[in-house]
Amino acid sequence: MAKLDDALCNRCRLVTDRLPLLVLSVLTRRSGCKIRFSDQALRRSRGGSVRARRKIVVLTAAIVVVMCIGTFGFHLLEGASLFDSFYLVLTTFTTIGYQGPASHAGRVFNCFLIIIGVGLVFLLLGAVTQALLEFEFRELLGRRKMERDISRLKDHYIICGAGRVGRSVARELSRRPVPFVMIESDEEKAAHYREEFLILAGDASRESVLRQAGIEHAAGLVAATTTDAANTYIVLAARSLNSKLKIIARASEEHAEKHLRSAGADEVVSPYAFIGYRIAHSFLRPNVLDFMKLAMIQEEELGLDIEEVRVGEGSAFVGKTVHTSKLRQDFGIIVLAIKREGQKMQFNPKSTDPILAGDFLVVMGDPAKLREVLSLAGARA
């Protein structure tokens, strides 16, 4: 029984990690430019900060060594106690003045101590000041670059919440790559993930924050905070600012789904319902789930991927059938389904079924070949 419990726990962790892919499968896949999170000036600033920290460590260690030498030197030359000797060194380094050593040898030793010790102290103060200035410069430069990157975004996605689900969605979007920006209310967490993602610190339910994230030009939004109430407010604010936005919301409780849909969410994803579905079908259809996991998550191992292809106006595929398009013959691509506007999804289409402009083809095949088909489907003949 214990082994079964452990197996179920492991399965729960596995399906929780895969939940963001369910979110991504609902979002319309679009190609985009991968956002670069650092430029040359920012790299130089970071490099200078590392050097400044290294200099502070070296200078601090040197001061400690010189203080130890000075303490034992006064102890031997003046015959003072270790504490009195340390006190003499400390007052020398801080330049506050005191009654100097009595012996000639002690004064000569103190001259060298003043030159070396006080010099090191001033060098340390300069290094600390430099590090503080570079930190402020880096923060200012980072904020300006973030604002500049966000202002350039179009047809991007907004991820509200940098929790486990939100971060997983962000990593999957980065892998495609697709442009996106994250919003996190916890400033400390936002700063922690700023090196990895383009992220704003703020309340995603506020219209000013959503506008700062470029919601007017966004293609979709994911409300992935940990509370249903927060997700509901985010959906309401987002829908009021962009009526055409594709919104996907996370629901923790079953009764929250209807409220989120009423607020304007196009799709609602429940982590717990998804986990229950995966656990049940791991018993009932384990091979099917293993195949879907390989195809959707680990396509590198299987050598294939499942993609959504939109057939553009004037594309070479328009007016042809599934067979005459030669997707299977020339590219090794399997057409799993056709989704036509205003109609239900047509699974396993016949070879004689036509392909029209505006159709969405759900296809499976080699990732490199799929990229070729994506280019051809959007290009004019």
pLDDT given for residue 268 in this prediction: 92
157 shares a domain with 141:
no
The set of residues, in sequence order, having a beta carbon less than 8 Å from that of 65 and lying 6+ positions away, is: none
Q: What is the model's pLDDT at position 297? A: 59
Q: What is the model's pLDDT at position 31?
A: 37
pLDDT computed for residue 107 by the predictor:
73
**Is there a single domain that holds both residue 142 and residue 168?**
no
Whether residue 3 is contained in a domain is answered as: no
Given 262, 277, 292, the domain boundary residue is 277
Measured CA to CA, the distance from residue 295 to residue 280 in angstroms comes to 20
**Are 111 and 187 within one domain?**
no
What is the identity of the amino acid at 9? C
Q: In this structure, are 273 and 157 located in the same domain?
A: yes
Domain co-membership, 217 together with 309: no
Task: Supply the pLDDT for residue 230.
Answer: 94
Phi, psi of 73 (to 5 degrees): -65, -50
Q: Is the domain of 168 the same as that of 257?
A: yes
Number of domains in the chain: 3
Q: Which two tokens stand for residue 19?
A: 């939940």
CA-closest candidate to residue 138, choices 191, 185, 181, 193: 191
Task: For residues 124 and 180, state if they share a domain.
Answer: no
How confident is the model at residue 349, as a pLDDT?
92
- Which positions ≥6 away from 50 have C-beta within 8 Å? none
pLDDT at 4: 40
The answer on 162 and 51 residing in a single domain is no
Same domain flag for 124 and 205: no
- Residues 160 and 269 placed together within one structural domain of the fold: yes
Rg (CA), the chain: 31
Write the DSSP assignment of 266-298 as a string of letters: SEEE-HHHHHHHHHHHHHH-HHHHHHHHHHHT-
Identify whether 226 is part of a domain.
yes
> Which of residues 237, 260, 277 is at a domain's end?
277
pLDDT value at position 321? 93
- Domain containing 128 — which CATH number? 1.10.287.70
Q: Which domain holds residue 98?
A: 40-147
Please give the structure tokens belonging to residue 14.
């596995």
CATH number of the domain residue 336 falls in: 3.30.70.1450
Q: Same domain for 195 and 269?
A: yes
Rounded CA separation 329/323 (Å): 9
Q: Note whether residue 293 is domain-resident.
A: no
- pLDDT score recorded for residue 223: 95
pTM, two decimals, is 0.58
10: in domain: no
Same domain for 313 and 248?
no
Is residue 352 included in any domain, yes or no?
yes
24 falls within a domain? no
pLDDT in tens, 226-279: 899 999 999 999 999 999 999 999 998 888 989 999 999 999 988 777 788 778
Short-list 227, 274, 265, 226, CA closest to 247: 265
Last residue of a domain, one of 117, 147, 177: 147
The CATH number of the domain holding residue 218 is 3.40.50.720
Task: Quickly tell me which residue has 């995966």 as its tokens.
Answer: 278
296 belongs to a structural domain:
no
Residue numbers of the chain with a pLDDT score lower than 50: 1-9, 11-19, 21-22, 24, 28-45, 380-381
Cross-strand pairs, 308 = 362
